[in-house]
Amino acid sequence: MTMRFAGFAAVSAAALLAAACSPSTEEAPATEATAAADGAMTADAPAATGNIVAVAQGNGDFSTLVSAVTAAELGETLSGPGPFTVFAPTNAAFEKVPAATRESLMAPAGKADLTKILTYHVVPGRVDAAALTQQIQQGGGSATLTTVEGGTLTARVVDGTVTLTDEAGNTSRVVTADVAATNGVIHAIDTVVMPN
């Protein structure tokens, strides 16, 4: 993918993930075993106290994501009833994108491209780690997820880690799964994914 596209994807994913990830999201990849365990432990996990946008705003590691969601005017949508599943890159993912590209996407003229990238990181419904792992197993090793943008992501387990492959063949790892929100769930990813 080009650096411009990487920037678009990073901005969108970060905007979505800001809602749910912790600062240590890139330290330990989510594995199939931990994803299943996380899903099984959902009943014991603390109840979500805010929607996707509120969760993101409460986490400094996702300030870029929050800024992107604001620039794309998606805050109201992602605060709505949903439910939504957001695959969101962290601030570190945005740092991989050239500053000029980030600025271009965040400018009013970049709104359409930014919106396309951000909505490519959102899947309708609540797909927690356990459900995603089950879909992958039932699919013989992969699951196709249709995004709000209209494109698809392919989820697989590679070396014990859930990965997403975008339509251009680029791959991202889920580094933190099941960040709860009142209107969905957030999975942090380490690389921005891009629609066609």
Judge whether residue 1 has pLDDT over 80.
Answer: no
CA-CA distance, 158 to 181, in Å (whole number)? 27
CA-CA distance, 58 to 156, in Å (whole number)? 30
Q: Return the higher-pLDDT residue of 25 and 86.
A: 86
CA-CA distance, 48 to 13, in Å (whole number)? 21
pLDDT single digits (tens) 39-80: 333 334 456 789 999 998 888 877 888 899 999 999 999 999
Q: Is 88 helix (H, G, I), strand (E, B) or coil?
A: strand
Average pLDDT score over the chain: 78
Specify the pTM.
Answer: 0.76
Judge whether residue 180 has pLDDT over 80.
Answer: yes
Q: How many CB atoms lie within 10 A of CB 114?
A: 25
The structure tokens listed for 71 are 């620039």
